[in-house]
Amino acid sequence: MATGTTGPAGGTGTNAPGRARIQARHLRTDRWWLSPAVTVAILSAFIVYSTWRAFANDDYFAEPYVSPFYSPCLASKCDSMPMSANAPLFGDWWGLSPALLILIFPLGFRLTCYYYRKAYYRGFWASPSACAVPEPRGRYSGETRFPLIMQNIHRYFFYFATVVAVILSWDVLIAFRDEHGAWGHMGLGTLVLLANVLLIWAYTLSCHSCRHIVGGKLKHFSKHPVRYRFWGFVSRLNGRHMELAWASLFSVALADLYVYLVASNAFDDPRFF
């Protein structure tokens, strides 16, 4: 296919010197825009929902279930949640929703996640929207300037996300009680929270940073058989990182919604035993 003369002198990106000059923005004929459009729609819906629930400061505890948006509770002005992860580190002076104190950690973990960066860069910023579709900007500096240079602290958000996953696991354990605190009971909410924490653990452990922490800098796997086995397990999860990222996003929203509906008396939690 004839492409004409090279790009104008002094141009950048697709107009850089030596690049073929093509009048069309791209030559793709498939629905390349569908994937980024779906990403924008789903992430926007989650942002709206999570923002509403984070500022609601109500209906986040229904004995024995705790919303993952509000656990652990780091403020004094929280609902009375027996045996839950309450640590009033911020005392009485914190007047806003306690969810705002904890959501920064799982949110930061997802915002700096390698897969989510690809997803929302393409969806919201068209950087680029798809393969062989150039981005609309003339310059590209990567993640070398503020604020995108902050993406490099993803590993530290991984540490915090692991702590949050441990706390949510405790919340699942106490969900095997009834409303009176007696052990040995299970309701539908128990299964909802259990499914959520399993997906959160799978997403967290499939993280690229986790894989590097487990097996990085090892020169001889044979000398570290335990780390090698764990590295192999994490590597298999890493191959499903995209699916786990979306599944855990849906599950955490569903778990919060379920607790909200039970706490607001929209329906009674079905008990199996």
3-state per-residue secondary structure call for the chain: CCCCCECCCCCCHHHCCCCECCCCCCCCCCCCCHHHHHHHHHHHHHHHHHHHHHHHCCCCEECCEECHHHCCECCCCCCCCCCCCECCCCHHHCCCCCHHHHCHHHHHHHHCCHHHHHHHHHHHCCCCCECCECCCCCCCCCCCCCCHHHHHHHHHHHHHHHHHHHHHHHHHHHCCECCCCCECCCEHHHHHHHHHHHHHHHHHHCCHHHHHHHHCCCCCHHHCHHHHHHHHHHHHHHCCHHHHHHHHHHHHHHHHHHHHHHHCCCCCCCECC
C-alpha angle 236/156/52, rounded to 5°?
90
pLDDT of residue 74: 86
List of residues 6+ apart from 44 with CB closer than 8 A = none
pLDDT at residue 85, as a whole number:
74
The model's pLDDT over 36-75, given as tens digits with 9 standing for 90+, comes to 999 999 999 999 999 999 999 999 999 899 999 999 888 8
The neighbouring-strand residues paired with 86 are 73
Tell me the whole-structure pTM to 2 decimals: 0.86
Spatial neighbors of 182 by CB under 8 A, at least 6 apart, are none
User: Cα–Cα distance between 262 and 252 in angstroms, integer?
Assistant: 16
- Cβ contact 109:158 at 8 Å: yes
Whether residue 201 contacts residue 245, with contact meaning beta carbons closer than 8 Å, is answered with no
pLDDT at residue 217 in the model: 78
Which residues in the chain land under pLDDT 70? 1-16, 19-20, 22, 138, 140-141
Q: Cα–Cα distance between 12 and 138 in angstroms, integer?
A: 6
